Amino acid sequence: MINKMLESLNLPSPLEVGGKRVQSVEEWEEIRPFVLRMMQECEYGYMPEEPESVSFRVVEEDTDRYCAGKASYMKLEIIARVYGEDFTFPVTYVYPRKRSGKVKTFVHINFRPDVPDKYMPTEEIIDNGFACASFCYQDVTSDDGDFTNGLAGLVYKNSERTPYSPGKIAMWAWAAMRVMDFLQTREEVDKDNICVCGHSRLGKTALLTGAVDTRFSAVHSNCSGCSGDSLNRGKGEGNETIGDIIDRFEFWFCENYKTFYGKDNETPFEQHFLSALIAPRRVHIASAAEDVWAGPNLEFLFCAASGEVYELYGKKGFIYDDDDDYLKPGKYLNEGNIGFCYREGKHYFSRDDWHGMMDFMNR
pLDDT exceeds 70 at position 324: no
Q: What was the pLDDT predicted at 19? A: 85
Q: 95 - beta bridge partners?
A: 72
Q: What was the pLDDT predicted at 80? A: 98
Q: What was the pLDDT predicted at 100? A: 87
**Cα(228)–Cα(181) distance, rounded to whole angstroms?**
24
Contacts of 117 (CB under 8 A, 6+ apart): 110, 111, 134
Give 350's pLDDT tier (boundaries 50, 70, 90). Answer: very high
pLDDT exceeds 90 at position 319: yes
Q: What was the pLDDT predicted at 10? A: 96
pLDDT exceeds 90 at position 348: yes
Q: Convert the pLDDT of each residue in 148-203 to its tens digit.
A: 999 999 999 988 999 999 999 999 999 999 999 999 999 999 999 999 999 999 99
How distant, in Å, are the alpha carbons of 90, 170, 177, 194, 221 from that of 181? 14, 17, 6, 12, 21
199 three-state secondary structure: strand
Q: Convert the pLDDT of each residue in 272-284 to its tens digit.
A: 999 999 999 999 9
Q: Convert the pLDDT of each residue in 288-301 to its tens digit.
A: 999 999 999 999 99
Q: DSSP string of 217-256? A: SEEEEES--TTTTS-STT--TT---HHHHHHHHGGGS-GG
Terminal-residue alpha carbon distance, the chain? 27
Paired sense of beta strands 338-343 and 189-199, if any:
unpaired
pTM above 0.95, yes or no: yes
CATH fold of 2-49+94-361 reads Rossmann fold (3.40.50)
Q: What was the pLDDT predicted at 183? A: 98
Q: Convert the pLDDT of each residue in 75-133 to its tens digit.
A: 999 999 999 999 999 999 999 998 889 999 999 999 999 999 999 999 999 999 999 99
pLDDT exceeds 90 at position 325: no
Q: Is the peptide bond before 296 cis (omega within 30 degrees of 0)?
A: no
